[in-house]
Every structure is written in structure tokens, then in C-alpha cells.
Structure 1
Amino acid sequence: MSSPRFGNPKQVCEHLLFDAKRYNIEHSILRSEVAVADRLLARSLELADAYDELYKSSTHTRVRCRPSSGSS
């Protein structure tokens, strides 16, 4: 499952968590991160504001870091 580029901040963040969790489980690594992802996913209603802030921050960073079209 790949993460959507745009959409609801909660959906984007939860897709990222699911993807990381799936990868870690498939490769039998980072069991503590899987546990943390499970806890975050279980508390999604409480974390809606945090997901929104993360989404806005990451979107702003991507826009700000784009190279200018006039570079040589």
C-alpha cells in the first residue's frame, strides 16, 4: 500500500504508519516501532490536530525546498 500524496492529513499520516508497520513486520525488524505505530493508530481521534500540523509542515517544507526554475 503506497501513501497518497494529497488528501486528508489523518489519512496521509495513517497510511505512512501502516506502510512503515507493514514493512517492519515483513522484514522482522523494529518491533518497538510497530508497537508505537499500533498505539498511534489506536489514538487517531486524539492525534487529528497533530496529524494536521505534521501534514502542513511537510507540505510547506516540500514547497520551500524546490529548486528554482531559473537555476543555471
Structure 2
Amino acid sequence: MDDVDFDELVASLTLREENQAIKSYQNTVAVACPACEARFDDLVVCKENPTSLNLSKQLDLCVGSADGQAVLFTHKK
């Protein structure tokens, strides 16, 4: 994700949840995933190390990092 402007990417998304462990954004404008170039559904920023995620559905994930934090791009199946 070195060539991706993370702040610009996040500015295009809608904040859905923020707590001590994560920050979650919804992709409401069909931004392309920087890893696979397909539209992604949500972006999850892991603020704590380690962080546990409880996923309620099966998802494909693309993973990157920004500012030393893991970022997950979810793709609903």
C-alpha cells in the first residue's frame, strides 16, 4: 500500500464503527481495493496489536498496512 494515499482513501468512505480495537468504514461509493482492484465492501483498521475480529459472515479479505496498523479490505461472497 506504499503507493496508495491512505488518508484520501479513507476520506472517500463512511465511518461505521470505532472502538478501542478497530475502526470500520463502509465503501458506499464503489472505491477499488488497492490489493486486487475489485470493489471492496468494508475497510477495517486494526488499532491494537493483537486484535481479534468476530466475523458474522464468510468474507474474502485483502490485507495491507498503513501507518504501522493492519488494514483489512473485506469482499462479501
TM norm structure 2: 0.22
* Larger helix share, 1 or 2: 1
Greater percentage in strand: 2
Question: Normalization by structure 1: what TM-score?
Answer: 0.23
Q: Name the larger-Rg structure.
A: 1
